[in-house]
Amino acid sequence: MATKEFVFSGVLWTDRTDFYPTPYEYAQLYPAVTPFLSAAQARYNPNSMLLPAPDFKAFEHRAAWRYQYLDINDGAPGAFSDPGAGVGTPRATITTTFDTATGVTLDASIIGSNLEIWDSTLATYKGVCLITAVSGSDLTLAVVSNPGSATQTHVALADNDRCYVVGTAHGESSSAPEASSDELEVVHNSTHLERTSLEISEHLKRAVLRGEQNELQRMRMEKGNEHKIKQARAFYFGARSGGIGGVAHGAGGGTDATSIPTHMVDANSKTVRQTMGIWSALRRYGRRSGNQQNWFEFIKNEFSYNDIVDISEKISQYDLGDDMKEWYCGPGATSFFAKAGREGLLTKLENTRVNLDISPAATGDIGLVSKVLTLPHCQIRLINDPLLRNTPYHDAILGVTPRNVELVRYMQDTYAVNIKTDNNPLIQKDEFLGDCGIRLRLVETMEAIFLT
């Protein structure tokens, strides 16, 4: 008789063959791609009160006394009549106009302050003066001394001189000076309503299937992951009309009000609130230069050890020692640090490399796998973030100080079952529903780094 063979056609091939060696197993792509959201949820206290309104505010405070200086705003302030230490009483004085008062107030509370004066480039030391009187933005300065001069001669003042407050000095038996004060600042944000639906027919729900036996269960898992990743993207990249309050781009870009903005509406005139994500907040309020810079851009093959040390110095100035920085790295940035840890980064000295001090990967107390980068000014937890893959942020880094980033909810996340019942449609429609946002405080304690 003829031999029956296994042919690639007919009923034997298409209908009788079992093509599935493990019919109830299937592979999933990207099982967990939201490390920032996972961290925020892990730190969220389930006993926290829900927000009383979807628009919310938060207080923040910057220690005014941390940096205290003024700049002379006078085209010709002139020289002291007796620029030396002087022997008479009172000392020689000059009255000149000031601006850029940082950490101090131009009122009576500043009388008695000693000023160490430098030129605008901070290269020439001029001496120390004492503020003896104030009238509006005009201050009267009495020469004290120039320790850098053999004759203690004070260098003549000039426009844009930088004057640092270096303590106060008051007369014996004098009255207490005028008090100064500051106020808390306010920032705000909104929650956003995230909705993700799934729908399945009764016929498919009852079918006997291979792969995943319960198609409704598989769809719930799939849509649950989609809902989570949509929330994570909103917490990163969402933009809120009107901002959250603050000075745009560090300085010179206008100040956003702290009042609740007029939200946009949808096609049915329903209010659509949006949360301001962290990347968007940094893009709006980050500083591109200066001592408080927290928005950095580098060419990858020119990024040096000197650059990363300088970054660590700037971003650690607000650290109180109780919170390790977290850097959420796009896959390209993660690869960059892996190579730098092995090969080292070039220093400004030609052909000299320094290896980065990066610990082995470990799982932290909130369940994230990370490595710790130790730099001269701080330690940073490096966390790979697949959510940034194949986006403009593939080679970018988002740095956060965890205590200043908080998940808040207006409504608890819910899963609504069978929400479509009119006329018995023989389908089941479910929905993941969440109304939450991010409370951001002190954006200057966060940073964005782009490696191009």
One domain, residues 323 and 389: yes
Q: Give the count of domains, the chain.
A: 2
Q: What share of the chain is helix, strand, coil (3-state, %, to 5)?
A: 20, 30, 50
One domain, residues 278 and 424: yes
As a whole number of angstroms, the distance between CA 278 and CA 438 comes to: 8
Q: Contact, 443 vs 282, CB < 8 A?
A: yes
One domain, residues 241 and 101: no
One domain, residues 200 and 340: yes
Judged by phi (left if over 0) then psi (alpha if -120 to 50, else beta), residue 388 lies in alpha
What pLDDT score does 89 carry? Answer: 57
> Would you tell me how many other CB atoms lie within 10 Å of the CB of residue 349?
11
As a whole number of angstroms, the distance between CA 410 and CA 259 comes to: 19
One domain, residues 339 and 196: yes
Of 111, 137, 168, the residue that ends a domain is 168
One domain, residues 243 and 150: no
One domain, residues 161 and 190: no
As a whole number of angstroms, the distance between CA 345 and CA 215 comes to: 51
One domain, residues 292 and 311: yes
One domain, residues 201 and 145: no
Residues of the chain with pLDDT below 70 are: 1-8, 11-32, 63-64, 85-90, 180-183, 208, 210-212, 250-254, 258, 319-323, 350
One domain, residues 119 and 202: no
What 3-state DSSP class applies to 92?
A: coil
Let me know if residue 143 belongs to a domain.
Answer: yes
One domain, residues 342 and 233: yes
Of 168, 197, 222, the residue that ends a domain is 168
Element (H, E) at 164: strand 162-168
What 3-state DSSP class applies to 205?
A: helix
One domain, residues 316 and 427: yes
Which structural domain range is residue 74 located in?
A: 64-168
Residues ≥6 apart with Cβ < 8 Å to 368: 35, 38, 39, 383
As a whole number of angstroms, the distance between CA 202 and CA 210 comes to: 17
Let me know if residue 100 belongs to a domain.
Answer: yes
Residue range 22-64, pLDDT digits in tens: 666 656 555 567 899 988 988 888 888 899 999 988 887 776 6
As a whole number of angstroms, the distance between CA 143 and CA 128 comes to: 7
Of 134, 168, 202, the residue that ends a domain is 168
